[in-house]
Amino acid sequence: MKTKTHQTIVLNEVPCPFCSLICDDLVIQNKDSKLTVKENGCAKVKAHFAQPLPDSTPALKGKSCSIDKAIKAAATILKQSSAPLIAGLGTDIGGMRSVMHLADNIGATIDHMHSDGVIRNTLVLQDLGWVMTTMAEIKNRADFIIFAGTDASNYPRFFERVIWNKNSLFRNIKKRKIVYIGDKLKTSTGRSPEGKLPTVLKCEQEEINEIISVLHAIIAGNIIQTPKIAGISLATLLKLAKQMQEAKYGVIVWAPGELNFPHAELTIQSICELVKYLTRTTRFAGFTLAGADGAMSANNVSAWQSGFPLRVNFSKGFPRHDVGRNSTKSLLKNKEVDALMWISSFSSNTRPPKAKIPTVVLATPEAKLDFKPDVFIPVATPGIDHSGQLIRTDNVVSLPLKKLRDSKYMSVSDILNRIIELI
Amino acid sequence: MLIKLSGGTVYDPVHGINGEKRDIYLQDGYITRKPASSIKIDKTYDLNGKIIMAGAIDIHTHIGGGKVNIARMMLPEDHRADLVSKTKLTRSGCGHAAPSTLTAGYRYAEMGYTACFEPAMLPSNARQAHMEMADTPMVDKGAYAMLGSDDFFLRMLTAKKDREAISDYVGWIINATQAIAIKVVNPGGINAFKFNQRKLDLDEQNEHYGVSPREIIKSLARAVRELGVPHPLHLHGCNLGVPGNMHTTLDTIRAVEGMPLHLTHVQFHSYGTEGDRKFSSGAAEIAEAVNSNPNISIDVGQVLFGQTVTASGDTMRQYAGHWHAHPKKWVIMDIECDAGCGVVPFKYRDKNFVNALQWAIGLELFLLINDPWRIFLTTDHPNGAPFTSYPHLIRLLMDRSFRNDMLATINKGAAAASILSSIDREYTLYEIATMTRAAPARSLGLKNRGHLGGGAIADITVYNNIKNKEKMFEKPLYVFKNGEEIVKNGKIVKVVTGGTHTLRPDYDKSIEKSLKKYFDRYMTVKLGNFKIDDDEIVEHGNGNIIVQPCT
């Protein structure tokens, strides 16, 4: 797309790359390469789109240099490393394909900045599995929705798009029942357009598991003696259990990144086992809100190219999947890696870890770093500066990202492909 | 570059060549006629005593898309047993039940395959399916778009839309998702499961829409024919795995009233209810129906023993089957008012009566269906077994004494319940070449593939002539893809990308008006973003688009 001076271009149906809902109804104006959200963006992303393109250059230890020199220096660091870590992974499918190729070539470990959440789900999938659903099914089929430990506020348009949506194929939206279980949840969004309030079961995030387990026990026909469970009266849970069994299409929503306590995967597993049990008689499904900064894409590309979801190590020449050992935090802490490449092409707020090993940072030009990495290369943002694809939070739908403006910065994929050639 | 394949024994059923000694010439990726003697030949392969066939084509193999990737994510223990190291040429990965895309491509090529078709591409997941297929090197790919449980189509049927409108929708789907054919899985059943229906027979109605699988099958089979899609409607029928489903299958054959229809993984749909276990083989009746209805083609979906994973769009039947999951984990997903998927790991045991009889039923079908042009070799990878078991399966078909030796090792009750030991038939190389090359190419409308005539794409496999057919087919001497030597002695010598076969049927574009309205109101992506541009498939440099003509 060529942008001439003083030209205003309006683009419709623009997919937004900044959260994993990937809303694709945005109307974006490009006026002299300055982007403005004209319609449908949430408050959160308006600022992202409006970010100007600062004049940044590649740099070696803070000293400005040419792109060729920076790529060469990055290649040298990775080549000399015997245990490199490629982390952050804030990129699109194309960038991730190149990450996989590079990691395989140099025997690196790969890990995403939001893996902690993604991996809680992975553990449940690999242990017992689940029954899941996607956004359009919730929008059209769900009559009963439980938010477990999340209020979806990190996904600002979730309620607008699939809970209080205007049109639905099969459901009277007004009759949708909303339940929240958890702590510090903003439950006002759960109020229906007619003013009907949601049911709120306030408990510690760590206590969600207890409530879910008791609901499961009740639904399975067990007699519960305890009058209060995690501060909630048994009568409330008995009522909720009955509503769940009577639902035509129930959904339990959780955000693995927001269940941030040790062994939260067991809470997720309890949710999934309850959903499975309900599926014996009615229809129920899980839904997960996760994966900003391309985390779902990274997880999926890792799975299809290596056979394993995230946290894979290639040091032996073949992929090794270990969700505990291969985490950025523990690899750096245990000094198991000797070079770090950090990738973050969506948000300037995601900071690389400060490590005492040679570090290459591929980040948005406006990234504010609190240290001077050995190599810094400003990169283009997928869906803003170049086209691409991203996978949505439900792990099924992927959207085509558009190029909205001309950028002088290279894509992550192009940079990594040049590094691959040099190694 | 002019290449001569000299003196090999050629099996080319399209041209009726049955084991004749022939020279074959390759130039610029194509097979060419014998050049004038004045023209210099750049390279000659002496293939005296070697067997030459076109590259093999797998018409039904789950190699890409969401359900396969769920299977990959959920089975680290299976992958850890088959890790694949990188080499100077090839990338690392892993194999067995749900291999990584790269390993799948390498292993298909190393087995002499040059094209693979993903049979269950959900339109809402098509972009990812294409991305996975693009990352499957060596072979050409293609995919069948899944319809029949999508709410847009069922609303059309309920509203009694005319057949032209339905054809327009089907044509639009093929174009928008870059598909080459149409698949229907448990017609209307995936949808009915979302309304909590747990079974749906051929004439049972979807409770919400009031339409039956019979109506869905007829409507889609007609649309596919009217659009000129070469491959018939690819049908995964009702009642998969249910004892007695042979009657559903026979009724389904009658239901299409002579229209072309492809019944996929028929082994899973050929069960009777005879005997003490109320589970018996319906292979003889199914074979008889296939033999006497020339509009019907099938693939078998052979079961072979061992651990695998079943990945299917059929949520209704996968849910019912999850009780048998091994290991005990499983996934069911409802997807985008479009379809769904179910992933259930499974271990077929030779000493288990049902599994052993499934194995026998598949072989009975292979051996009782006469026309190799209408039966294709599949295991419904990975549902019956991983595709890497094809050489073993070919030996079972070609070698009666080997087959009977295997039969003697399975569950005694199943062996006794099967007529397998009484069947003398052994497949010939000519028949194998038909069912794995010529016939799938013809069925899919790939005119310049699946044969070795002048003008064909030079996708060629050369085998050593070994008596043990498993050994012969698992390790070809050479594989040529688009005229380039890519495999030697069963190992990759050159990595190529492969293209994507698509079809561009004509349809009335005004269908987009009602589709746009539907997408804006009910879907969660915009119509424009649902469609997959050519650029998306070719941009990453790992594939090209091959547009096949409609009939």
- At A112-150, the pLDDT tens digits run 999 999 999 999 999 999 999 999 999 999 999 999 999
Percent of chain A with pLDDT over 70: 99
Residue of B473, B493, B498, B302 lying closest to B394 (CA atoms): B473
**Min Cα separation B64/chain A (Å):** 8
Q: Both A365 and A404 in a single domain?
A: yes
Residue of B40, B45, B39, B38 lying closest to B24 (CA atoms): B45
Averaged pLDDT score across all residues of chain B: 97
> Total domain count for chain A?
3
Please check whether residue B455 lies inside any domain of the structure.
no
Between the CA of residue A352 and those of A88, A347, B211, what are the distances in Å?
Answer: 7, 12, 56
CB-CB neighbors (< 8 A) of A317 in chain B: 85-86, 92
- Which residue range is the domain that position A254 belongs to? 124-288
Q: Both A266 and A244 in a single domain?
A: yes
| pLDDT score of A333 | 96
| pLDDT score of A52 | 76
Please check whether residue B22 lies inside any domain of the structure.
no
| Boundary residue ending a domain (A267, A288, A309) | A288
Q: Cα(A285)–Cα(A292) distance, rounded to whole angstroms?
A: 22
Q: Both A128 and A272 in a single domain?
A: yes
A87 close to A340: Cβ distance less than 8 angstroms: yes
Of A285, A309, A319, the CB nearest to B93: A319
Nearest CA in chain A to B67: A396
Nearest CA in chain B to A287: B333
Are A248 and B196 inside 8 Å of each other by CB? yes
Q: In what order do the strands lie in the sheet with A339-344?
A: A63-64, A59-60, A375-378, A359-363, A339-344, A84-90, A109-110, A312-313, A320-321
Q: Which alpha helices (DSSP H) does A362-411 contain, by range?
A: none
Nearest CA in chain B to A272: B331
- At B214-262, the pLDDT tens digits run 999 999 999 999 999 999 999 999 999 999 999 999 999 999 999 999 9
Please check whether residue A1 lies inside any domain of the structure.
no
**Min Cα separation A63/chain B (Å):** 33
Averaged pLDDT score across all residues of chain A: 96
Q: What is the CA radius of gyration of chain B?
A: 22
Residue of B375, B415, B420 lying closest to B284 (CA atoms): B420
Would you call A319 exposed, middle or buried from its count of C-beta atoms within 10 A (0-12, 13-18, 19+)? Answer: buried
Q: Which helix (H) or strand (E) holds A344?
A: strand A339-344
**Min Cα separation B123/chain A (Å):** 10
**Min Cα separation A138/chain B (Å):** 9
Are A104 and B73 inside 8 Å of each other by CB? no
Of A168, A170, A305, the CB nearest to B102: A305
How many CB pairs below 8 A link A and B?
196
Are B525 and A24 inside 8 Å of each other by CB? yes
- Report the pLDDT averaged over residues B527-536: 95
Are B70 and A131 inside 8 Å of each other by CB? no
CATH no. for residue A144?
3.40.228.10
Q: Both A367 and A391 in a single domain?
A: yes
Of B72, B335, B529, the CB nearest to A307: B72
Q: Cα(A217)–Cα(A223) distance, rounded to whole angstroms?
A: 8
Are B522 and A170 inside 8 Å of each other by CB? no
- Spatial neighbors of A93 by CB under 8 A, at least 6 apart, are A297, A301, A388, A389, A390, A391, A398, B131
Are B196 and A282 inside 8 Å of each other by CB? yes
Please check whether residue A3 lies inside any domain of the structure.
no
- At A159-197, the pLDDT tens digits run 999 999 999 999 999 999 999 999 999 999 999 999 999
- Report the pLDDT averaged over residues A11-28: 97
Please check whether residue B40 lies inside any domain of the structure.
no
| pLDDT score of B80 | 95
Please check whether residue B9 lies inside any domain of the structure.
no
Are A391 and B319 inside 8 Å of each other by CB? no
Q: Both A297 and A350 in a single domain?
A: yes
- At B251-308, the pLDDT tens digits run 999 999 999 999 999 999 999 999 999 999 999 999 999 999 999 999 999 999 999 9
Are A305 and B526 inside 8 Å of each other by CB? no
Please check whether residue A302 lies inside any domain of the structure.
yes
| pLDDT score of A146 | 98
- Report the pLDDT averaged over residues B391-418: 98
Q: Cα(A132)–Cα(B448) distance, rounded to whole angstroms?
A: 43
State yes or no: pLDDT of A5 exceeds 60: no
Are A24 and B98 inside 8 Å of each other by CB? no
Percent of chain B with pLDDT over 90: 98
Are B319 and A15 inside 8 Å of each other by CB? no
Q: Both A158 and A103 in a single domain?
A: no
Of A25, A125, A169, the CB nearest to B74: A125
Nearest CA in chain B to A319: B93
Please check whether residue B210 lies inside any domain of the structure.
yes
CB-CB neighbors (< 8 A) of B386 in chain A: none
Please check whether residue A240 lies inside any domain of the structure.
yes
The DSSP line for B16-64 is TEEEEEEEEEEETTEEEPPPPTTSPPSEEEE-TT-EEEEPEEESS---S
Residue of B45, B1, B16 lying closest to B460 (CA atoms): B45
Are A279 and B332 inside 8 Å of each other by CB? yes
State yes or no: pLDDT of B187 exceeds 80: yes
B136 close to B90: Cβ distance less than 8 angstroms: no
Backbone CA torsion sign across A105, A107, A108, A111:
positive
Give me the amino acid identity at B433.
Answer: A
CB-CB neighbors (< 8 A) of B522 in chain A: 136, 139-140, 167-169
CB-CB neighbors (< 8 A) of B93 in chain A: 305-307, 318-319
- Which residue range is the domain that position B291 belongs to? 56-357+380-427
Are B334 and A141 inside 8 Å of each other by CB? yes
Please check whether residue A2 lies inside any domain of the structure.
no
Are B336 and A136 inside 8 Å of each other by CB? yes
Are A137 and B337 inside 8 Å of each other by CB? yes
Are B72 and A13 inside 8 Å of each other by CB? no
B115 close to B103: Cβ distance less than 8 angstroms: no
A365 close to A378: Cβ distance less than 8 angstroms: yes
> Total domain count for chain B?
1
Please check whether residue B331 lies inside any domain of the structure.
yes
Q: Both A305 and A272 in a single domain?
A: no
State yes or no: pLDDT of A106 exceeds 60: yes
Of B337, B343, B533, the CB nearest to A169: B337
Please check whether residue B11 lies inside any domain of the structure.
no
CB-CB neighbors (< 8 A) of A304 in chain B: 64, 68-69, 72, 100-101, 131-132, 135
- At B502-519, the pLDDT tens digits run 999 999 999 999 999 999
Residue of B226, B252, B53, B67 lying closest to B143 (CA atoms): B67
Q: Both A266 and A350 in a single domain?
A: no
Long-range CB pairs of A194-197, under 8 A, 24+ apart, other chains included: none
**Min Cα separation B244/chain A (Å):** 24
pLDDT bucket at A49, cuts 50 / 70 / 90: confident
Tokens 């009777």, residue located: B272
Q: Both A149 and A211 in a single domain?
A: yes
Q: Which helix (H) or strand (E) holds A312?
A: strand A312-313
Q: Both A145 and A279 in a single domain?
A: yes
Of A97, A130, A398, the CB nearest to B135: A97
Nearest CA in chain B to A97: B135
Half-sphere exposure of B268 (CA within 13 A, CB side): 29
ipTM of the complex: 0.97
CB-CB neighbors (< 8 A) of A132 in chain B: 331-334
Q: Which helix (H) or strand (E) holds B347?
A: strand B339-348
Are B91 and A101 inside 8 Å of each other by CB? yes
Please check whether residue B244 lies inside any domain of the structure.
yes
A288 close to B341: Cβ distance less than 8 angstroms: no
| pLDDT score of B541 | 67
State yes or no: pLDDT of A3 exceeds 60: no
State yes or no: pLDDT of A402 exceeds 80: yes
Q: Both A30 and A162 in a single domain?
A: no
- Report the pLDDT averaged over residues B398-422: 98
CB-CB neighbors (< 8 A) of A135 in chain B: 336, 524
Of A279, A303, A318, the CB nearest to B83: A318
Between the CA of residue A270 and those of A254, A265, A386, B434, what are the distances in Å?
Answer: 12, 9, 41, 52
Q: Cα(B519)–Cα(B521) distance, rounded to whole angstroms?
A: 5
**Min Cα separation B314/chain A (Å):** 14
Residue of B388, B428, B209 lying closest to B304 (CA atoms): B388
State yes or no: pLDDT of A1 exceeds 80: no
Of A127, A304, A317, the CB nearest to B85: A317
Give me the amino acid identity at B435.
Answer: M
Are B526 and A127 inside 8 Å of each other by CB? no
Strand duo B306-312 + B339-348: pairing = antiparallel
CB-CB neighbors (< 8 A) of B83 in chain A: 318-320
CATH no. for residue A320?
3.40.50.740
State yes or no: pLDDT of B182 exceeds 50: yes
Please check whether residue A119 lies inside any domain of the structure.
no
Q: Both A309 and A281 in a single domain?
A: no
Residue of B244, B111, B221, B210 lying closest to B166 (CA atoms): B221
Give me the amino acid identity at B432.
Answer: I
Are B100 and A307 inside 8 Å of each other by CB? yes
- At B118-172, the pLDDT tens digits run 999 999 999 999 999 999 999 999 999 999 999 999 999 999 999 999 999 999 9
- At A238-284, the pLDDT tens digits run 999 999 999 999 999 999 999 999 999 999 999 999 999 999 999 99
